Amino acid sequence: MKKHVLFIGVIFFMVFSFVAYAQATAAPERIRLGDGRTQFYSFISSSAGGTWYTMVGGAISLFNEYFEGARFSIEASGGSVENTRRLARGEVDFGIAYSSHIYEAMSGTGLFEGEPPNDNIRVVARIFISPHKFVTLQGFGITSLSDMEGRTVSLGAAGSGTSDNSRRTLRALGINVNEVEMMFSDAARALQDGHIAALGQGGAPAAGIVELAATRDIHIIPFSEEELRIMVELNPYFAPGELPAHTYQGQPEAVPVFTFSVYWIAHRDVPDQVVYESLRLAASEYGLAHLSTVHRQWATLSYSEEDENILGLVFHPGALAYWRQ
């Protein structure tokens, strides 16, 4: 008799859990924003076909399906540097950007030196923590970062955060290379054809490297402990980390690299309700399930007080209302 009761209890728990999950992930009702007049909001991303372009495309399709009174559009760009600058100027409403560029725009330092500190950028959420790495091919004679000395290296796409991070690395470590800037897919092909010796790459897994690793033996160049110490000491928005093993084919072990945070940002003038409802929809179980099918990096949408305390980032009031409720 006890076995039957236990069995019925297990079945009840499974059914209850399934119903609860189905309710939590059910499609939400449409959300009315504003006073009934349709307002338009732009969301800047990356070059067409890039990871951020795909991610933002998924987000605005979700917003446009469930919001009334607001329409979102996607804008292509060179990447984080351009996104930060254009949002700071008020040319776009939402964007994705690196922690380094947000910090420098707000403080008028680094790439934004000579410009007055900008107070227009507000953080909505941290989307993911990204690694920065350098990739070469087995047989190219490059086993350490210093081996790139004098070789031709693609930093990343012009205007991208990857290009900036690659340049920061080479300057900080005193490595002189023949610098070129190439679109990521073009750089992967150039590496395969031997036209360049290595390439810088942010994010993982990157489509171009995945395709390259399927046909050639790649080598992710590790950072030494001393190199990581230098990078973190010079850049408060970087942290020591690693590229997990098996991120790419032929990469059996984790590789030491530095990491940085990637943020969803908004202009300070975007209404609190629009930011709050956009974040609430994106971070809901239904929203995350949808966005994760677009790109898995949406799955780690989060908030951390460290973002405010260490880097001095300012969160949008609409975002804080969501995260602190």
For the stretch 244-302, pLDDT in tens is: 999 999 999 999 999 999 999 999 999 999 999 999 999 999 999 999 999 888 999 99
Strands 152-154 and 121-137: unpaired
Q: Running DSSP on this structure, what letter comes out for residue 114?
A: T
* Architecture of the 131-261 domain: 3-Layer(aba) Sandwich (3.40)
Which region among 46-50, 212-216, 275-279 has the lowest average model confidence (pLDDT)? 46-50
Helices (H), 133-183: 161-173
* Res. 14: pLDDT tops 60: no
Percent of the chain surpassing pLDDT 70: 91
Q: What are the pLDDT digits (tens) for 141-176?
A: 999 999 999 999 999 988 788 999 999 999 999 999
How far is Cα 109 from Cα 290, in angstroms, rounded to an integer?
A: 38
The SS3 assignment for 42 reads strand
Helices (H), the chain: 2-24, 51-66, 80-88, 99-107, 161-173, 184-192, 207-213, 225-234, 272-283, 285-294, 305-309, 317-323
Domain boundaries, the chain: 40-129+262-323, 131-261
The mean pLDDT of 191-204, rounded to a whole number, is: 94
Structure tokens at 123: 């953080």
Multiple choice CATH, 40-129+262-323, 3.40.190.10, 1.10.1040.10, 2.40.50.100, 3.40.50.2300: 3.40.190.10
* Res. 1: pLDDT tops 60: no
pLDDT band, residue 135 (cuts 50/70/90): very high
* Res. 8: pLDDT tops 80: no
The mean pLDDT of 45-72, rounded to a whole number, is: 92
Q: How far apart are the first and last CA of the chain?
A: 46
CA 124 to chain centre: 13
Q: Which residue has the higher pLDDT, 14 or 112?
A: 112
One DSSP character per residue, 221-279 reads EPPPHHHHHHHHHH-TT-EEEEEPTTSSTT--S-EEEEEEEEEEEEETTS-HHHHHHHH
| Top-ranked range on mean pLDDT: pick from 45-59, 107-121, 133-147, 195-209 | 133-147
Strands 255-267 and 94-98: antiparallel
pLDDT for residue 25? 54
pTM across the whole model = 0.79
Percent of the chain surpassing pLDDT 90: 74
Q: What are the pLDDT digits (tens) for 86-106?
A: 999 999 999 999 998 999 999
Say whether 131-261 and 40-129+262-323 share the same fold: yes
The SS3 assignment for 7 reads helix
* Res. 70: pLDDT tops 60: yes
Cβ(179)–Cβ(153) below 8 Å: yes
